[in-house]
Amino acid sequence: MTSQPPPSKAAQFKRLLLSDQVEFFCESHNGLSAKIVEEAGFKGIWASGLTIAAQFGVRDNNEASWTQILDHLEFMSDATQIPILLDGDTGYGNFNNMQRLIGKLEQRRIAAVCIEDKCFPKTNSFLQGDAQPMADMDEFCGKLKAGKDAQTDDDFCIIARIEAFICGWGLTEALRRAEAYHRAGADGILIHSALATPDEILAFKREWGARCPVAIVPTKYYATPTDVFRQYGFSLVIWANHLLRAAVTAMQKTAQIVKADEHLLSIEDKIAPVAEIFRLQDAETLRQAEQRYLPHGGDHLTAIVLAASRGDELGDFTKDKPKTMVPIQGIPILSHIVDAYQTAGIKHITVVRGYRKEAVTLPHLTYVDNDDFADTGELASLFCALRNRNGAFHDTIISYGDLLFSKYIPQIMMQEPDDWVIVVDSVWEGKTAYTRLGGFAECTAPNSREAYHASIYLTQLGRDVPPAARHGVWMGLLKVSAGATERLQHLLAEMLADPANKKAGMARLFQELRRRDVSVRVLYTVGHWLDINSVADVVQAERF
Ligand code: SPV
Ligand code: MG
């Protein structure tokens, strides 16, 4: 079943405008306040000319250019999913400017615009309103028509705002204009009043009836009970400037206190914590995207090297140090491993030590000790590393301390989004050096040219996979996503509670994952690794 895309912002707005109940829009003046309005549960935003001008520090007299307003609106629109009704002043010019405006608003997913019948540059309605000239009615009708003709989305709405009461004209003029604007194609009327009582807007609504939806801005008649607006059948109530005014009071108080105190103690617990700002900015989504798209970011990647065992098979090589410290080409195996991880962008590397732990002292690594190494196995060492982890879980690569591999191996593993990823070498027969074998792997498909493009998964892993089922050899590296690393820790705790698993190796983990139907993604490779298990391997490794 395909899910329906959410309705466009314009469609949402139109639905609200035409709904048979009163709807409430709240002012916002930038991306942050728009988000706050949305989170508060409002279904729509009033992009107020007054408050946008004020947050710029300029007057509500078209001092900010219309393109500056547009740029600003884009932030508000990007930050929210609910429709925005722009207070478009007088349309920033004549019919031609209005047409360009509509095009630009639609591009920015602004749902609707309200234009008022005054002259450019306009003045705020509460500043000597009755001294303000009104626009010529016919010219304003032309502007509305031009706007409606310019819109490409049928749902885009144009609200005609009548300033007849503001400019000292009466009800008759208001109704005459409402009728003309309605005929010119306006989707709704905004009737404005600067009185402290709702008398004018109620008189208007009584006469106008339900010929088209009516919006109001109760800034001055704020004491009127909302039920009155409901009873009169208004469509839209706009709280037009209250967030900016709240912010101004809070900012003034805070600035005065900090200036006087010269310290932050009296305000710190009265203001939003920085974490709240990050939340509003959605820093978390970026963090997750960085994990996905910045393979060299490093900070979110970790590696665990299982290096607790002696490596008896190397004889004298490991008398006074564990296998991971045996030198190859002049430096310990562990240095090669660290080098490969660091080149792949993995900065945090944890090494599980056991045998002759004092000999494992390379710098800039985190060490965790499995002092019970002689009587426990790889899973116990891995559990030690996870349990002693510092802080959050990260994408993690787990590998052995005696394994040489090329840096491209961890790189390709980290790029795979799957929770569990292993690398399988499909060409192993005849290579004696690979005899210890992390285990034979049977996969959902053998390695082939097609396998390169397909998603292949592990079906079983171990030494006892029948020869006919073997698609390759597990190289001894496992990538586990951050979320799965947390699950892995719980799984190991569960498994190790069973004494039978005390000495269990990694193959046992894969059996358990299979039993639980956990998919393990397989990446095929050919070569690029070496498992040091004999003196002969040490010699061969000199050429690796
Ligand atoms: C605005 O919010 O900018 C308005 C409403 O236009 S008013 O300030 O009341 O004119
Ligand atoms: Mg305005």
Read off the pTM: 0.63
- Tell me: pLDDT of 324 over 70: yes
Give tens-digit pLDDT for 172-221. 999 999 999 999 999 999 999 999 999 999 999 999 999 999 999 999 99
User: Residue 314 — very low, low, confident or very high, per pLDDT cuts 50/70/90?
Assistant: low
Give the ligand whose atoms come closest to the C-alpha of residue 220. Answer: 1
Longest dimension (CA), the chain: 107
For ligand 1, say whether the CB of 48 is within 6 Å of any of its atoms: yes
CA of 124 to the centre of ligand 2 (A): 6
Ligand located closest to 47 CA: 1
Q: What is the pLDDT of residue 403?
A: 85
At 488-519, the pLDDT tens digits run: 999 999 999 999 999 999 999 999 999 999 99
Judge whether 158 and 112 are in contact, CB under 8 Å.
Answer: yes
Domain with CATH 3.90.550.10 in the chain: 298-541
Query: Does the beta carbon of 124 sit less than 6 angstroms from any atom of ligand 1?
Result: yes
Residue 348 CA to its chain's centroid (Å): 25
Task: Give start-end residues of each CATH 3.20.20.60 domain in the chain.
Answer: 9-243
Residue nearest to atom 10 of ligand 1 (CA): 125
Contact between 404 and 492 (Cβ < 8 Å): no
- Given ligand 1 and candidates 51, 217, 221, 238, which is best to mutate, with the most ligand atoms within 8 Å of its CB? 217
Q: Is the dihedral of CA 10, 92, 235, 43 positive or negative?
A: positive
Angle, CA 229 vertex, CA 86 and CA 170 arms, to 5°: 75
Q: Could you identify the atom of ligand 1 that is nearest to the CA of residue 192?
A: 9
pLDDT digits (tens, 9 = 90+) for 83-105: 999 999 999 999 999 999 999 99
Instruction: Evaluate: CB of 90 within 6 angstroms of ligand 1.
Output: no
Q: Atom 9 of ligand 1 has which residue's CA nearest to it?
A: 125
Mind telling me the catalytic residues?
60
Give the integer Cα–Cα distance in Å for 190 and 21.
16
- Give the relative orientation of helices 171-184 and 137-150 as an angle to the nearest 10 degrees: 30
Q: Flag whether pLDDT at 297 surpasses 60.
A: no
Smallest CA-to-CA distance from 17 within 151, 146, 159 is with: 159
- Is the CB–ligand 1 distance for residue 50 below 6 Å? yes
Question: Residue 80: CB within 6 Å of ligand 1?
Answer: no
Cα dist from 70 to 44, 86, 147, 480, whole Å: 18, 10, 17, 46
Q: For ligand 1, is residue 240 a contact (CB within 6 Å)?
A: yes
Name the fold adopted by 9-243.
Answer: TIM Barrel (3.20.20)
CB distance 55 to ligand 1 below 6 Å:
no
Please give the average per-residue pLDDT across 71-86, as a whole number. 98
Q: What is the DSSP string of 356-372?
A: BGGG---TT-EEEE-TT
Please name the residues in contact with 543: beta carbons below 8 A apart, sequence gap of 6 or more.
none
Mean pLDDT of 4-20: 95
Q: Residue 127 CA: which ligand is closest?
A: 1
**Looking at per-residue confidence, does 235 or 315 come out higher?**
235
Q: Does domain 298-541 have CATH number 3.50.50.60?
A: no
Cβ contact 155:197 at 8 Å: no
* pLDDT at 541 > cutoff 70: no
Distance 126 CA to ligand 2 centre (A): 10
What is residue 316's DSSP assignment?
Answer: G
Check whether 47 has a pLDDT greater than 70: yes
Ligand 1 geometric centre to CA of 315 (Å): 86
Find out whether the beta carbon of 461 lies less than 6 Å from any atom of ligand 1. no
SS3 state at 254 = helix
Q: Look over the chain and give the mean of its residue pLDDT values, rounded to a whole number.
A: 91
- Give the least confident one: 150-154, 399-403, 445-449, 531-535: 531-535
pLDDT at 538 over 70: no
- How far, in Å, is the centroid of ligand 1 from the Cα of 164? 15
CA dist 55 and 101 (Å) reads 22
Of the candidates 123, 115, 118, the residue with the CA atom closest to the CA atom of residue 144: 115
Residue 222 Cα to ligand 1 middle (Å): 14
